[in-house]
Amino acid sequence: MGNGGADARSFWTAGGDIIAAGSPLCADDAFRLARFYAAALEEARRSGDVQAAAYLAPLAVQLSAAMEASDCWRRAANASRSPMFSNP
């Protein structure tokens, strides 16, 4: 299974984009991947597969954090376009 996500970042953000393995990941794909991780973690829990859970959990946390950071960045970027922030 490899080393898992605990030792290296698998997901991060740059300029509001979610980056996965060096390539952008659209929001819809990120959401689908997060749902997959949740289902896989639930299956690992049910089957008692501690190794799978230990591998998947850091990836799920990193992806979730990247999705949240991307959303925050986009909201901030959109707020700066508001007339409230314009110079008269």
pLDDT in tens, the chain (88 residues): 444 545 578 999 998 899 998 899 999 999 999 999 999 999 999 999 999 999 999 999 999 999 999 999 988 888 766 665 555 5
The pLDDT value recorded for residue 5 is: 47
The pLDDT value recorded for residue 9 is: 83
pTM of the predicted protein model: 0.78
19 part of a folded domain: no
Calpha distance 77→73 (Å, rounded): 6
The pLDDT value recorded for residue 1 is: 41
Cα first-last separation, the chain: 58
54 part of a folded domain: yes
Number of domains in the chain: 1
39 part of a folded domain: yes
Domain of 45, in residue numbers = 26-83
38 part of a folded domain: yes
78 part of a folded domain: yes
59 part of a folded domain: yes
- Residue ranges of the alpha helices (H) in 48-84? 50-79
The Cβ of residue 63 has, within 10 Å, a number of other Cβ atoms equal to: 23
